[in-house]
Amino acid sequence: MSLSTRDSTDDAGPRLLRDVWGFTAVAIMVVILRIVAKLRIEKFGTDDLLMALALCTTTVGSIIITLAVQLGFGQKVSALGNVAVSEVIMHDYLAQALGLAGGAIGRVSFIVFIIGLLVQMPSQRIVLWVLIGLQVAVNSLFIIIIFVQCPGHGSAIWDDSGKKKCWGLHVQAYYGYFQGAFNAATDLGLAIFSTYIFWNLHLKLRVKIGLVTLLGLGIFAMAAAIVKTVETRVLASSDSEPTIATVTYDRWLFIETCLVIVTTSIPSIRSLFRSMDGRKIRTRKPYESNSRFVADSLHTFRMRRRELSIFGKGTMNASVGNHNNEVFVRMESHDETLNSRMSRESVLCV
């Protein structure tokens, strides 16, 4: 059905497409900038691959919801035939599943990003990996519920055959409330955790505030998740207009997913804009930074040995041995701190 031939009075489809594709376009642009920024500093990793997958999943979902609108999604049932109604509902469910998957993958990507960039304590790593498992499990189960709520009659979720054997409508709705609340809590928790970690680093206050702001943008995704969760109520009631009932729910589902992708990718493109601002961004290998420290340590060591030689060999050997141990302890600690600091600096350009 062509959009130009539809009655725009009661047609919510065109506006839905404008909103969905507007946010999807922004997500595509931001992820492209993220990939370019990471490749420039040679830090392209697993989190970037996951974010690209999240974007692809969301884009396919946007395409499917476009097909649904072309079939009549957003219009009253009276304007469609029985076959068209079934096809519209089927495309709607597929789009919802892809939107849910895109948001979950985007959050997992951000958690992997945090683990590789900020987390040093094993206990924190364990908590974040558990959170990844929960994200996958909670969102995957919601997708499964969508398609298995009519056991033995899968097609009954979009037509009337075998409808009596389907689960109650409250099952999907109640789990949807839980899934939405869990995702919103995840967004808030990650924003708070990132703020806490960065605030304790030895950085200038201006830099801290800037990075905390970037890593805390997830609260916008949290807000969208809350609105989408409120709209989950439409899943709990049997509506006589199934081709219109979930329009608002779908809109906020894709807004939430796109905001997850955008807000969690913005911190990674900071280095790109800093380089465009005339500041040359370059990464140094650990041995290049360590060489100066080693040279200074050896120089100090030799000067100390020369001074101690005045007092005799025994004193000199003992002092040399102690200083030798001290140098290597300092070098080992310096290497560990330097490597983690360089990783943060090269990715976020602090």
Do both 230 and 250 map to the same domain? Answer: yes
A 10 A CB-CB count for 132 gives 16
What average pLDDT is seen over the chain? 78
Q: Is 147 a residue whose pLDDT tops 90? A: no
What is each CA distance from 142 to 56, 68, 139, 247, in whole angstroms?
20, 21, 5, 19
pLDDT top residue among 334 and 258? 258
Q: Which of 170-174, 212-216, 337-341 has the highest mean pLDDT?
A: 170-174
Do both 261 and 320 map to the same domain? Answer: no
Q: Is 306 a residue whose pLDDT tops 80? A: no
Q: Which domain holds residue 334?
A: 286-348
Of 180-189, 226-235, 303-312, the one with minimum mean pLDDT is: 303-312
- Give tens-digit pLDDT for 19-36: 999 999 999 999 999 999
Mean pLDDT of 294-312: 47
What is the model's pLDDT at position 155?
56
- Of 276, 309, 337, the last residue of a domain is 276
- Of 246, 276, 306, the last residue of a domain is 276
Which residue's entry shows tokens 């219109």? 244
- Is 66 part of a structural domain of the chain? yes
What is the model's pLDDT at position 141?
96
Q: Is 283 a residue whose pLDDT tops 60? A: no
What is the model's pLDDT at position 56?
97
Residue 72, Ramachandran bin (φ over 0: left; ψ between -120 and 50: alpha; else beta): left
What is the model's pLDDT at position 2?
52
Burial status of residue 211 (CB atoms within 10 A of its CB: 0-12, 13-18, 19 or more): buried
Q: Identify whether the C-beta of residue 348 lies closer than 8 Å to the C-beta of residue 122.
A: no
State pTM to two decimals: 0.77
Do both 160 and 26 map to the same domain? Answer: yes
What span, in angstroms and rounded, lies between the C-alpha atoms of 328 and 91?
A: 64
Of 108-112, 263-267, 328-332, the one with minimum mean pLDDT is: 328-332
What span, in angstroms and rounded, lies between the C-alpha atoms of 96 and 245?
A: 13
Do both 100 and 123 map to the same domain? Answer: yes
Give me the number of domains the chain comprises: 2
- Give tens-digit pLDDT for 100-126: 999 999 999 999 999 987 767 888 889
- Give tens-digit pLDDT for 53-94: 999 999 999 999 999 999 989 888 777 766 678 888 889 999
What is the model's pLDDT at position 199?
78
- Is 281 part of a structural domain of the chain? no
What is the model's pLDDT at position 50?
97
What is the rounded radius of gyration, in angstroms, for the C-alpha atoms of the chain? Answer: 28
What is the model's pLDDT at position 350?
52
Q: Is 289 a residue whose pLDDT tops 50? A: no
Q: Is 338 a residue whose pLDDT tops 90? A: no
Of 4-8, 180-184, 207-211, the one with minimum mean pLDDT is: 4-8
**N-to-C CA span, the chain:** 52
- Of 276, 294, 322, the last residue of a domain is 276
Q: Is 136 a residue whose pLDDT tops 70? A: yes
What span, in angstroms and rounded, lies between the C-alpha atoms of 157 and 88?
A: 12
Do both 14 and 67 map to the same domain? Answer: yes
Q: Is 146 a residue whose pLDDT tops 80? A: yes
Do both 76 and 40 map to the same domain? Answer: yes
What span, in angstroms and rounded, lies between the C-alpha atoms of 183 and 142?
A: 12
What span, in angstroms and rounded, lies between the C-alpha atoms of 13 and 72?
A: 8
Do both 209 and 325 map to the same domain? Answer: no
**Amino acid identity, residue 221?**
A
Mean pLDDT of 137-164: 74
Do both 325 and 230 map to the same domain? Answer: no
Q: Is 4 a residue whose pLDDT tops 80? A: no
